[in-house]
Amino acid sequence: MRQSLEDEFTAFVAARGQSLLRIAHALTGDREAAQDLVQGALAKAYARWPRIHTDAEAYVRKIIYNDRASAWRRPGRQNEVTVADVPDVAAGDRHDQRVADRITVQQALLSLPARQRAVLVMRYLEDRSVEETAEALGCRPGTVASQASRALVKLRDMVGDRITSMGGAR
Amino acid sequence: MRDLEESLRDAVLDLADGAPLTENLATVARARGRRIRRRRRTALGAFVVVMFAAVAVPYVALRREAPQPVVEPAPTVTVTPSVLTRALPGFSIKSPYRLPGGATVSMLTLPGADDSKMYVSLDRSTGRYRQLAFAYDPLGMSADGKLFAGSTGSGKVRVLDAADRTVDTIGVRMQFDIDSKPEWSPDGSRLLLPTPDGFAVYDVATKSHRVFENSAIRYFCPDLCYFTWLPNGREVAVGRRDDNVPRSEARAAVVASADIYSADTGKLVRSIPMTGVPASTDAWSPDGRSVLVRVQDEDFSTSTRIADTTTGALRGDPISGQALFLGDGRILAIGSRHAELFTADGIPLEEATLPRQFNDAILTVTRN
């Protein structure tokens, strides 16, 4: 690869690596898995950098989401974090309650199937529209909407009625 | 209590904030990326060498090569007490490669550069293999190897010949699911294209197509969602999941039937109760009594089974690899390293080791 393209790849990773790791960590909940996911996606990007360098970030993010979302389909791979019971959190003041809610939802989120989690991360971390999410995941907008809906229903089932109101996805 | 979505947004942000700091990302990615490139080049290079050796090597050198033996088809269908195992000869572009049972390798799909595919197909007029100039993925090849079809990615499907000459361009946006592709009818006169809302059928002779919209097909489609032709070339099959079983992303869908649609009217003709999906257009036995189906376990592991075409009852042990019925009623299965012959009831007859040249290739096989 030409030196200018090599430099461009290095600069891209320096500029966007942390942002990509944040997405990967939200998807996996595991630091090593997140690093592996991003490194794998960047490696694929590097392998075809001359072709994709003009739209590298979209390419890498698509690989991250798809590698993660498709991983659960591979036989023998267990990608869900089993949460037998979402732990009860002692009632406290308003701030404590906020923290407790976040921990409860975080654990429930990590127990969702990877594809549903991918949809929620795109929608809630990246504020992507249904159409943008569908394009990145290579599915129809209707599938994104149904995945998001099913994920929210699952989350509500898991966290019980301690979180009572649920609005529509943006 | 706060809104669930508000808590969810906070939870996702918390998770993102817990990401490790970047460390040597570019260095590690570069090293892994170079390995990916090397693997692709090795796979590609091996075949390019084979492909062009015949052209580049002087005639005298070619003459010195020992002739490549061709695997002879087994003459009769007999059940032997023990399974024979043998190694098949190496692949050469200079003659049709025959597999046990007399089937021919009609195309090799190889990993190309930059995530693309490379196709090497058999030219029946010369009996030699040649690299195709196009890399549509997926690519559908007609049974006689003369026509190909691939989506251009812009809501069109291109029908072309092996020389990359456009035969026609069909204004149909294809739906891409795992294992779905443009599917040629057994006689090559029609082309079946899966669409987001059903399917389309293209007629080669009239260069016209019809789109049959039926959103129920996709809604009820199991995880293995693709169309295949029936041997009559007038009907197509697609799996239907059991809608009494709640859907889950964590488990494979339960298949209830293979639904048969008319390629002329797009109407549902009949449903065959089935726990698997017809494996391919070549999956139907010559006597019409059996079909090879792909059955998925809850954990998405997939095996090929023999099913009765009336009751859907499975018989025989699971068969590994891509399987098809041969013209004499035997079954040929191609795995990553082996080819195996079975009786129509799935009793193993013969096993053969494939040459290492096929290690990275997906074989398209035509029954004789």
Give the 3-state DSSP-derived string for chain A, with helices as H, strands as E and coil as C: CCHHHHHHHHHHHHHHHHHHHHHHHHHHCCHHHHHHHHHHHHHHHHHCHHHHHHHHHHHHHHHHHHHHHHHCCCCCCCCCCCCCCCCCCCCCCHHHHHHHHHHHHHHHHHCCCHHHHHHHHHHHCCCCCHHHHHHHHCCCHHHHHHHHHHHHHHHHHHHHHHCCCCCCCC
**Mean pLDDT across the stretch B59-74?**
38
Give B285's pLDDT tier (boundaries 50, 70, 90). very high
CA distance B19 to B30: 21
Greater pLDDT, B135 or B147: B147
> For B182, which DSSP code?
-
The amino acid at residue B265 is T
Q: What is the DSSP letter of B252?
A: P
Q: Which residue has the higher pLDDT, A113 or B40?
A: A113
pLDDT at B279 over 60: yes
Using a CB-CB cut-off of 8 Å, the residues of chain A touching B27 are none
* pLDDT grade for B345, boundaries at 50, 70 and 90: very high
pLDDT at B113: 65
Strand partners, B305: B293
Q: What secondary structure letter does DSSP report for B90?
A: P
The CA distance from A23 to B286, in Å, is 53
pLDDT of residue B338: 92
Residue of A nearest to B197 (CA): A140
The reply to whether residue B10 touches residue A98, judged by beta carbons under 8 angstroms, is yes
Higher-confidence residue: B52 or A140? A140
pLDDT of residue B62: 33
Quick check: A86 pLDDT over 60? Answer: no
**Lowest-pLDDT range, A38-52, A63-77, A92-106, B258-272?**
A63-77
User: Averaged over A23-35, what is the pLDDT?
Assistant: 90
Residue B2 with chain A: CB contacts under 8 Å: 97-98, 101, 163
Q: Which band of pLDDT confidence, cut at 50, 70 and 90, is reported for residue A163? A: low
Peptide bond into A87 cis (omega under 30): no
The structure tokens listed for B202 are: 């293209």
> Cα–Cα distance between A160 and B1 in angstroms, integer?
12
Query: Which tokens belong to B238?
Result: 């697609």
- Are B210 and B190 contacting, i.e. CB atoms less than 8 angstroms apart? no
Least confident interval from B51-55, B252-256, B312-316: B51-55
Per-residue pLDDT averaged across A4-31, rounded? Answer: 90
Contact between B169 and B182 (Cβ < 8 Å):
no
Q: Which residue of B has its CA nearest to A1?
A: B34
User: Which residues is B260 bridged to in the sheet?
Assistant: B237, B270
Q: Is residue A165's pLDDT more than 60?
A: no
3-state secondary structure of B164: coil
Please determine, for residue B326, whether its predicted confidence score (pLDDT) is greater than 90.
Answer: yes
| pLDDT over threshold 90, residue B21 | no
Contact predicate B171/B165, CB 8 Å = no
B302 sits in the region (left: phi over 0; alpha: psi -120 to 50; else beta) called: beta
| CA B181 vs CA B78, B150, B200, B343: distances in Å | 35, 8, 12, 29
pLDDT higher than 70, residue A162: no
Q: Measure A127 CA to nearest chain B CA, in Å.
A: 10
Does the pLDDT of residue B32 top 80, yes or no? Answer: yes
Q: Which residue of A has its CA nearest to B38?
A: A47
**Structural domain includes residue B52:** yes
Is omega for the bond preceding B355 within 30 degrees of 0, making it cis? no
Residue A145 at interface with chain B, using a CB cutoff of 8 Å: no
Contacts of A76 in chain B (CB under 8 A): 299, 301
Residue B46's domain comprises 2-65
**Number of residues assigned to chain B:** 368
User: At residue A81, does pLDDT exceed 50?
Assistant: no
Percent of chain A predicted with pLDDT > 90: 11
Task: Give the highest mean pLDDT range of A93-107, B33-47, B140-154.
Answer: B140-154
- Whether the per-residue pLDDT at B173 is higher than 50: the answer is yes
Q: Which helix (H) or strand (E) holds B157?
A: strand B157-161
C-alpha span between B238 and B255 (Å, rounded): 11
A22 to chain B, minimum CA–CA distance in Å? 4
Domain total of chain B: 1
Residues 6+ apart with CB under 8 A from B198: B211, B212, B213, B214, B215, B217, B218, B266
Q: How many CB atoms lie within 10 A of CB A41?
A: 24
pLDDT for A94? 61
Whether B135 and B110 have beta carbons less than 8 Å apart is answered as no
Mean pLDDT of chain A: 76
On the question of pLDDT at A77 being above 50, the answer is no
Q: What is the pLDDT of residue A82?
A: 39
Q: Decide if B42 is inside a domain.
A: yes
B176 pLDDT band (50/70/90 cuts)?
confident
What number is the average pLDDT over the span A13-38?
90
In-domain check, residue B209: no
How would residue B71 be classed by pLDDT, with cut points 50, 70 and 90? Answer: very low
CB pairs under 8 A between A and B: 166
Query: Does any domain span residue B366?
Result: no
B14-18, B119-123, B178-182, B289-293: which range is least confident on average? B178-182
Would you tell me how many other CB atoms lie within 10 Å of the CB of residue B343?
Answer: 16
Asked if residue B61 is part of any domain, the answer here is yes
CA angle B115/B118/B119 to nearest 5° reads: 150
Confidence tier at B114 by pLDDT (50, 70, 90): low
- Those of residues 151-180 in B touching chain A at CB distance below 8 A are 176
pLDDT for residue B122 is more than 80: yes
Considering only CB atoms, which chain B residues are within 8 Å of A166? 3-5
ipTM of this complex > 0.90? no
Give the pLDDT of residue A167.
Answer: 36
The pLDDT of residue A89 is 46
User: Is residue B48 assigned to a domain?
Assistant: yes
The Cα–Cα gap between B115 and B211 comes to 31
pLDDT(B367) > 90: no
For residue A152, report the phi and psi dihedrals to the nearest 5 degrees. Answer: -65, -40
B251 inside domain: no
Stretch B167-177: mean pLDDT, rounded? 89
Tens-place pLDDT, residues A108-158: 888 888 888 899 998 999 888 888 888 777 777 888 888 888 888 888 888
Instruction: State yes or no: pLDDT of B260 exceeds 80.
Output: yes
- B54 within a domain of the structure (yes/no): yes
Given a cut of 70, whether residue B61 has pLDDT beyond it is no
More confident residue, B323 or B23: B323
- Mean pLDDT (chain B) is 85
CA neighbor of B340 nearest in space, from B72, B99, B48, B148: B99
Cβ contacts (< 8 Å) between A86 and chain B: which residues? Answer: none
The mean pLDDT value for B318-328 works out to 93
What residue has token string 């891409």? B176
